[in-house]
């Protein structure tokens, strides 16, 4: 039985991932600030923005076969309200909350000779949005780390693959819509509809859609996929 650790498994995409891996028969541990976890998973309370706490939390866990990273998010900020602290906060809440967990886990996996690491990042690191510049910068940095580490650790038997969702039907989407409404002067409902209409299908991605992809990427069916970031925005960003 594999041991899957989901950083940020208490809600949203992370909780959907926990449930999906449990359905595969995996043993799942969720790391989050609340310590809560879906039924059937072990919950560990930890602030992953604190490096020492993150290192200690993963050191106390059994051998990890798959690491999914969904913890932390940078809040959208309207352009005219941007401050230097917003960029620092974005790096702390998104970039370092991932890297603080990735580094110690990857080193253990490399010593063992196997493991899969799946950071859920975001299309904001690929295309700039005026209301999401600090978060986009953190996402871009995570994309670089993901592809670079995937190549660097391939010979040690690791696969490191990122997933870039666009807007997803979680509480965070509501926050994004509110920021977009303020930026553009629209009503909240109009902003929600505009963001949803960016999908060619007209349908926003569900957390379970991401979870299904994570299960696939963690499986042997994706054994040749490594050192890359996969877009999952329903074709909303048609770029090469």
| Residues 148 and 188 both lie in one domain | no
Q: Which residue has the tokens 């798959």?
A: 66
Burial 42-71, CB ≥16 within 10 A → b, else e: bbbebbbbeeeebeebbeeeeebbbbbbbb
| Residues 103 and 42 both lie in one domain | yes
| Residues 52 and 71 both lie in one domain | yes
| Residues 12 and 56 both lie in one domain | yes
* DSSP element (H, E) containing 163: strand 158-165
* DSSP element (H, E) containing 108: helix 97-112
> Does residue 95 lie within any of the structural domains?
yes
Provide the residue range defining the domain that includes 183.
Answer: 169-204
Task: Give the pair of three-digit tokens for residue 217.
Answer: 């990427």
> Does residue 43 lie within any of the structural domains?
yes
Q: What is the largest CA-CA distance in the chain?
A: 54
At residue 158, the 3 state secondary structure works out as strand
- Per-residue pLDDT at 209 exceeds 90: yes
pTM of the model: 0.90
Across 7-11, 131-135, 154-158, least confident range: 131-135
> Does residue 237 lie within any of the structural domains?
no
**What is the β-pairing status of strands 66-69 and 228-232?**
unpaired
| Residues 177 and 164 both lie in one domain | no
| Residues 27 and 93 both lie in one domain | yes
pLDDT tens string 75-117: 778 888 889 999 999 999 999 999 999 999 999 999 999 999 9
| Residues 41 and 160 both lie in one domain | yes
- Domain count across the chain: 2
Instruction: Supply the pLDDT for residue 156.
Output: 98
For residues 202-230, give the mean pLDDT: 95
| Residues 103 and 187 both lie in one domain | no
- Per-residue pLDDT at 197 exceeds 80: no
* CATH number of the domain residue 49 falls in: 3.40.50.720
Q: How confident is the model at residue 235 (pLDDT cuts 50, 70, 90)?
A: confident
> Does residue 240 lie within any of the structural domains?
no
Q: Which long-range contacts (CB under 8 A, 24 or more apart) does 218-222 make?
A: 218/4, 218/21, 218/66, 218/68, 218/116, 218/118, 222/159, 222/161
| Residues 156 and 174 both lie in one domain | no
Task: Give the pair of three-digit tokens for residue 232.
Answer: 């999952």
> Does residue 139 lie within any of the structural domains?
yes
| Residues 192 and 218 both lie in one domain | no
115-119, strands of its sheet edge to edge: 42-45, 27-32, 3-7, 66-69, 115-119, 158-165, 228-232
pLDDT tens string 141-194: 999 999 999 999 999 999 999 999 988 877 777 777 888 888 889 998 888 788
Residue 193 Ramachandran class (φ > 0 left, ψ -120 to 50 alpha, else beta): alpha
> Does residue 238 lie within any of the structural domains?
no
Give the count of beta carbons closer than 10 Å to the beta carbon of residue 198: 15
- Per-residue pLDDT at 240 exceeds 80: no
| Residues 161 and 187 both lie in one domain | no
| Residues 105 and 174 both lie in one domain | no
What DSSP string describes 6-74? EETTTSHHHHHHHHHHHHTT-EEEEEESS----TTSEEEE--TTSHHHHHHHHHTSPPPSEEEE----P
The mean predicted confidence, pLDDT, of the chain is 93
> Does residue 192 lie within any of the structural domains?
yes
> Does residue 114 lie within any of the structural domains?
yes
Q: With contact defined as beta carbons under 8 Å apart, do 101 and 41 qualify?
A: no
């Amino acid at each position: 039985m594999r041991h899957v650790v989901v950083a940020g498994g208490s809600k949203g995409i992370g909780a959907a991932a926990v449930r999906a891996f449990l359905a595969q028969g995996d043993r799942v541990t969720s790391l989050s600030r609340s310590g809560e976890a879906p039924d059937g998973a072990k919950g560990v309370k930890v602030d992953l923005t604190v490096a020492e706490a993150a290192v200690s939390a993963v050191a106390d866990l059994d051998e990890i076969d798959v690491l999914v990273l969904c913890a932390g998010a940078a809040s959208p900020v309207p352009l005219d309200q941007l401050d230097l602290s917003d960029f620092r906060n974005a790096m702390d809440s998104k970039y370092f909350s991932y890297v603080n967990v990735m580094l110690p886990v990857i080193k253990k996996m490399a010593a063992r000779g196997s493991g899969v690491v799946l950071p859920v990042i975001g299309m904001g690191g690929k295309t700039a949005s005026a209301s999401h510049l600090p978060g986009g910068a953190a996402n871009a940095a995570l994309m670089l780390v993901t592809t670079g580490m995937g190549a660097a650790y391939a010979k040690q038997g690791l696969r490191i693959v990122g997933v870039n969702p666009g807007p997803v039907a979680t509480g965070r989407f509501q926050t994004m819509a509110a920021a977009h409404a303020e930026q553009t002067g629209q009503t909240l409902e109009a902003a929600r509809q505009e963001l949803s209409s960016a999908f060619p299908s007209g349908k926003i991605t569900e957390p379970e859609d991401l979870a299904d992809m994570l299960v696939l990427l963690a499986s042997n069916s994706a054994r040749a996929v490594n050192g890359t970031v996969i877009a999952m925005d329903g074709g909303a960003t048609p770029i090469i």
